[in-house]
Amino acid sequence: MSIWRKTAVVGAYEHPTRFAPHMTPFQIHAESARGALADAGLTIRDVDGFFTSGVGPIGIMSLAQHLDLRPCYLDAQSIGGSSFVSHCLHAAAAIAGGLCAVALVTYGSTAASERFAIGTGGSFATEPPDHFEAPFGPTIVGSYALVAQRHMHEYGTTSEQLAEIAVTMRRHASLNPHAKYRDPITVEDVIASRMISSPLHLLDCCMISDGGGALVLTSAERARDLRKPPVLILGGAEAVRHGEIGTRDLLDVAAFQSGPLAFRRAGVTPGDVDMCMVYDSYTITVLTTLEGLGFCPRGEGGAFSAGGRIGLGGALPVNTDGGGLSSNHPGMRGIFLVIEATRQLRGEAGPVQVRDAHLACVHGTGGMLGQRHSGVTLILGGT
Amino acid sequence: MSKPDGTSYQKYLPRIDEESRGYWEALARHELHVQRCRDCGAKRFYPRALCPVCLSAATEWVRASGRGTVYTFTVTYQNQAPGYRDALPYVLAVVDLAEGVRLMTNVVDCAPEAVRIGMPVEVLFEDVTPEVSLPKFRPA
């Protein structure tokens, strides 16, 4: 039994806030749920499947209480910032399998107003592999920098090529009234910005903002009667990469596993895709993800990302909202990838609308690219 | 915790547990060991009770030569965690041991800007507590 093309995203809402010291994370979850349900034309009483992450080990129960939900299906997936992309995949399986009818996915965070130092706040040592890494001082940005340095060594990738990714995201953000950073930047600006962990400069790194969002999914059949054109889940897959037995190729990121499987399940190829949403925690994340998804061969991500190809008007517009590099990044960005893809496939993306956008590829990365990370790919189709 | 010289050590200390005790005890003697499965022969790092290749518990320790090459690295200029922020800039690296496994470490005893991928390095042992010595590397 295939689950593909049987379920759809029917409600999507991105909380407009980027800095909310006057709000709690649960309040952002609740306001986002209200927005996504209104977008779908459903009520909170319709929800019987609940999906969230980033709320503490058993926080999904507290959040269910906060929203007075009584779901018959719960999923508190915890694989880093990609968790919310994973929620959509799991919701598709749950709905197609009859375990729930209306799935609500919510996210809320006040990481910026609480002044969390995420990327450079050091690491934590709780589980076995951590004890062989944390003593040496890896930061999150440092973990991604290990991959960037190796990519440069093996393939001649340059800081200028990485910088072009940041410049493109900023150009997209300049068209997004909610984006946190909207002033144009140049390749020279990125390279002149402070080195955080070589070869990654400050402007190679995503920001920390506040924010949140929500999604509503249901069956394709029920979706036909709802307010907005459905965005069908055509295919998807997950992966985790780690240090193996101490032999891992750091450039073989999770997208190399989840991407081809997701495309095969959807029955489409990278060449069919109209736009792509990629977790841009760092510029190197975009470059390696595009290789893994199959948009270009391994090693060619630098050249592929240059020359305007991934910008609006290019062959493969990526992160049309401005991404985590320039629009928002409250610590776990996965939900915004699906929200912006939904806007694009509905034709609601306004000044950043990709013309004739019918097929979108979404890929979330979670965790630390050079140590342990997850990858979740979703292929979404408009009608 | 205090270092052997009595100063306070603020960086993360590894938790020594039943799966890793032999590794840390060897390091305290200034020896670097990796595990080898006595059934399938696979070497593994970090140490753990069962071989992830065949799930055998038959394990032996192999003393590493301490020689290796830099697989990748980053010069860390910002880390707000106690201990590390006072050591900036420092080199976080992944080193390929001659024995065929990769481990995370620091490259020390050279200018951070001088580190290169492929550079030959050799192990040295930093005694941070009476129980814990960390394997770090310097240009060979």
Please state whether beta strands A73-75 and A49-52 pair in parallel, antiparallel, or not at all (unpaired): parallel
Determine the Cα–Cα distance for residues A193 and A83; give it in Å rounded to an integer: 31
Contact A150 B72 (CB under 8 A): yes
Q: Is A88 a catalytic residue?
A: yes
A326 close to A181: Cβ distance less than 8 angstroms: yes
Tokens 């790919």 locate to A377
Cα separation, A127 vs A132, in Å, equals 10
Q: How confident is the model at residue B1 (pLDDT cuts 50, 70, 90)?
A: very low
Structure token digits, residue A18: 């980027």
Q: Which helix (H) or strand (E) holds B49?
A: none
What are the angstrom distances between the C-alpha of A15 and each of A178, A243, A302?
9, 36, 32
- Residue B2 DSSP code: B
Please write the tens of the pLDDT for every residue from B66-124. 999 999 999 999 999 999 999 999 999 999 999 999 999 999 999 999 999 999 999 99
Contact A303, A50 (CB under 8 A): no
Count chain A–chain B contacts defined by CB atoms under 8 A: 128
B7 vs A157, more confident? A157
pLDDT tens for each residue of A80-103:
999 999 999 999 999 999 999 999
Q: Which of A15, A29, A87, A88 is catalytic?
A: A88
Q: Which phi-psi region, left, alpha or beta, contains residue A126 (left: φ > 0; alpha: ψ -120 to 50)?
A: alpha
Q: Give the per-residue pLDDT at B4.
A: 54
What is each CA distance from A340 to A154, A192, A270, A275, B70, in whole angstroms? 33, 30, 19, 10, 40
User: Is the CB of A128 less than 8 angstroms away from the CB of B44?
Assistant: no
Alpha-carbon torsion (A20, A22, A27, A33), positive or negative: negative
Tell me, rounded to whole angstroms, the distance of Cα A137 from its chain centroid: 26
In chain B, where are the structural domains located? 21-139
For chain A, domain boundaries: 7-115+206-381
Name the residue in chain B with its Cα closest to that of A119.
B79
- Interface check for B111 against chain A (CB to CB < 8 A): the answer is no
- Per CATH, the number for A7-115+206-381 is 3.40.47.10
**Positive or negative, the Cα torsion across B86, B91, B94, B98?**
negative
- Whether the complex's predicted ipTM surpasses the cut of 0.85: yes
User: Residue A34 CB: number of other CB atoms within 10 A?
Assistant: 15
Residue B51 to chain A, least CA–CA distance (Å): 9
Burial A336-375 (b: 16+ CB within 10 A, else e): bbbbbbbbbbbeebeebbbeebebbbbbbbbbbbbbbbbb
Interface contact flag, B72 A370, Cβ < 8 Å? yes
Under 8 Å CB-to-CB from A252, ≥6 apart: which residues? Answer: A241
B102 CB near a chain A CB, below 8 Å?
A: yes
Q: Residues A210-245: pLDDT tens digits?
A: 999 999 999 999 999 999 999 999 999 999 999 999
Q: Which of A151, A329, A363, A373 is catalytic?
A: A329
